[in-house]
Amino acid sequence: MTHLLILGAGFSGKAIGDVFKEAGFSVSGTTRSAEKAESLRALGIEPLLYDGGTISEALAADMARATHVVQSIAPGKDGDPLFRAGSPALSVLMPKLEWAGYLSTVGVYGDHKGAWVDEETVLNPVSARSVERVEAEDHWLDFGKASGLPVAVLRLSGIYGPGRNALRNMEDGTARRLIKPEQVFNRIRVEDIGRSAPFLAGKRLGGVWNITDHEPGPPQDVVAEAARLMGVPVPPDIPFETAELSPMARSFYGENKRVSNAKLRAAGFEFRFPNYRQSLADLWSSGRWRG
């Protein structure tokens, strides 16, 4: 029986679990709270409580039967929870493992002043959280090399989808058009993340993969497109220099790059939502934008 364990079954993890279930896998996922555990159960994902620390007997038993794993838990200062000092070897925890996916971020590339980057680009992480991601990536890739198993690092760009998008922000009154000249971002619809992991697993592909749309663009253009679809006024421009932002939000604007997905497309993956315009139109017309 093929079994997927999702470590950190959040927005992206649940989307991945949906597609694996459609392929006939049994799926389990970890969460930190009993309340979220029930929401996972309602989606057909067997819930397991895990805070990234001690591995319970139930989680250990699930790991022992996992043929596939997706790790979505952020590493933090202590590193990836599965590669911390004193942790049992992954090959011991998951003896039946056939494929592993690690969800990382395009933040590991750092700032490239709007230039294109791909999987061969030298990493230059700026923020502490991106430095931690690079270390975690290395642990997973080294495990793949040592074990001979395909281990894929999925570098995700800005994630959005049902319930988390510019249309919802417009309705909530939180949409803002922050203007920073020449700034662009890539994005990725959560359902395409969900499809990319089983695509790589099915082909037993490891290595690094950018999971991102075709079209990096200015963030204010996404807000304008949402307003156009909804038939409401476009929010006023706000110069980035005068905007009130959290330190984390401001740090995102300190990195400017265009991320290529050419490698994934060359492998045969077809994006269902290749750009934000097509994706927002789908969310609006289907009514799924509210989640």
pLDDT number for residue 42: 95
Condensed to tens digits (0 to 9), the pLDDT of residues 95-134 reads: 999 999 999 999 999 999 999 999 999 999 988 899 999 9
E strand or H helix at 230, and its extent? helix 219-230
How far is it, in rounded angstroms, from Cα 32 to Cα 47? 10
Single pTM value for the model = 0.96
Q: How far is CA 232 from the centre of its chain?
A: 30
- Upper half-sphere CA count for residue 248 (Cβ side, 13 Å): 2
* One-letter amino acid for residue 66 of the chain: A
Tell me which residue has tokens 């090399």: 145
> Alpha helix (H) ranges present in 86-206?
90-93, 128-147, 166-172, 190-202
Distance CA 94, CA 64 (A): 5
Q: Which ranges of the chain have pLDDT less than 70?
A: none
Q: What is the distance between the alpha carbons of residues 83 and 132, in angstroms, rounded to a whole number?
A: 12
Give the model's pLDDT for residue 249. Answer: 85
Residue 86: predicted pLDDT: 85
User: How are beta strands 158-160 and 116-117 bridged, if at all?
Assistant: unpaired
Length of the chain: 291
Element holding 62 (H helix, E strand): helix 57-65
Which pLDDT score, from 0 to 100, does residue 87 have? 87
Q: What is the pLDDT of residue 126?
A: 87
Give the count of beta carbons closer than 10 Å to the beta carbon of residue 1. Answer: 8
The span from the CA of 152 to the CA of 100, in Å, is 6
- What is each CA distance from 151 to 29, 106, 195, 211, 266, in whole angstroms? 19, 17, 17, 15, 19
